[in-house]
């Protein structure tokens, strides 16, 4: 594991939990000696502050890279040159061009690569996907996918206040990926951004309108400046309408399905684990499910659902959203 910071703790707990499937956490690395030592001692593994030293000293099959995005290209290259498979935290890189370079190198070196796009793997999200696939609401034709919170994200990750591309690249990328996951690829996107909080460098609010190849229209929202109570952090709120019904996913992972005039409501959340806590447990459980998926895909020699190649399509939406916000025109995403 490279990166022992704030969110990486969830990755570490998840890998330890997956020891029942035969996986072993063997080493951790962080530039900050205190973070590296704390993680190493806590999880009972060797700790390093030098990536090369770790890669040369440990028998590693799979490398989980949970560092800030600016370091991803160099770290992924170090893994690829050693034929070590890797999982990169989203976003894959600061730009689409760098992301393409990472994916291309892995392809040339024939190295397995995945992106830790964990929102897809939450229990509630998976249940909604199953219901869409069952045909209970017919073919989807409209949706709203929202990540709206006033939670103080800057307290645990103060560097975010200095990111010039913030809401879309940090959380919007999650909800754009869900739009693809639920509704398919996108033909064009429009976007308006706002900076509602003083003292930060990037946009903290983005409102996006997507036209999917299927004809479905979706509204995708991401903000860190919501003023709603109760705050739903870190949950995604969903409304998906189809030809014969609708699905909503609301606070506390409550799913309502309306079909042919009849509505049924179910709790689709998951119980707290020994290392998860409210309200983070929704996101933490998604990390566990994502890691289990990556482990299974890697062992069986198949691409992860969120492979590097797949994630380029999501990153293309990010770039198109920023272009649309700047030009005030709809933009067609391009990822090759």
How do residues 199-217 score in pLDDT, each as one tens digit? 999 999 999 999 999 999 9
Q: With a cut of 80, say whether residue 250 has pLDDT above it.
A: yes
* pTM of the complete model: 0.97
Residue given tokens 């800057």 in the structure block? 154
**Mean per-residue pLDDT, 137-154:** 98
How do residues 83-106 score in pLDDT, each as one tens digit? 999 999 999 999 999 999 999 999
CB 224 within 8 A of CB 146: no
Q: Considering the chain, what is the average pLDDT of its residues?
A: 97
Q: With a cut of 70, say whether residue 336 has pLDDT above it.
A: no
CB 158 within 8 A of CB 200: no
Domains parsed from the chain with CATH numbers: 8-119 (3.40.50.720), 120-270+307-327 (3.30.360.10)
Alpha carbon dihedral 81, 86, 91, 97, in 10-degree steps, equals: 30
pLDDT of residue 335: 74
Strands (E), the chain: 27-29, 46-48, 62-65, 85-89, 113-116, 140-148, 186-194, 205-212, 217-223, 237-242, 245-250, 254-259, 262-267
pLDDT of residue 221: 99
Query: What is the share, in percent, of the chain residues with pLDDT greater than 90?
Result: 96
């Amino acid at each position: 594991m490279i990166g022992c910071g704030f969110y990486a703790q969830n990755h570490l707990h998840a890998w330890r939990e997956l020891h029942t499937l035969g996986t072993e956490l063997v080493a951790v690395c962080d530039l900050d000696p205190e973070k590296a030592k704390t993680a190493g001692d806590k999880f009972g593994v060797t700790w390093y502050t030098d990536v090369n030293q770790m890669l040369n000293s440990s028998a590693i099959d799979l490398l989980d890279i949970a560092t800030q995005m600016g370091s991803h290209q160099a770290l992924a290259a170090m893994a690829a040159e050693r034929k070590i498979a890797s999982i990169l935290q989203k976003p894959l890189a600061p730009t689409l061009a760098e992301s393409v370079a990472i994916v291309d190198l892995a392809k040339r070196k024939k190295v397995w690569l995945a992106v830790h796009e964990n929102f897809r793997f939450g229990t509630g999200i998976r249940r909604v996907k199953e219901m869409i696939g069952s045909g209970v609401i017919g073919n989807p034709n409209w949706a709203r996918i929202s990540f709206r919170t006033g939670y103080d994200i800057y307290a645990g990750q103060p560097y975010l206040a200095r990111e010039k591309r913030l809401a879309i690249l940090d959380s919007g990328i999650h909800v754009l990926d869900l739009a693809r996951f639920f509704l398919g690829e996108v033909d064009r996107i429009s976007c308006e951004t706002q900076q509602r909080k003083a003292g930060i460098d990037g946009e903290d609010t983005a409102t996006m309108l997507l036209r999917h190849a299927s004809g479905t229209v979706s509204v995708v929202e991401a903000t860190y400046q919501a003023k709603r109570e109760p705050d739903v952090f870190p949950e995604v709120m969903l409304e998906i309408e189809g030809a014969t019904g609708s699905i909503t996913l609301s606070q506390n992972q409550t799913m309502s399905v309306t079909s042919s005039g009849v509505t049924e409501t179910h709790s689709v959340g998951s119980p707290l684990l020994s290392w998860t806590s409210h309200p983070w447990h929704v996101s933490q459980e998604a990390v566990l499910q994502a890691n289990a998926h990556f482990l299974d895909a890697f062992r069986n020699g198949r691409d992860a659902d969120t492979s590097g190649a797949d994630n380029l399509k999501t990153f293309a939406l990010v770039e198109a959203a920023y272009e649309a916000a700047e030009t005030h025109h709809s933009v067609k995403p391009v990822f090759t």
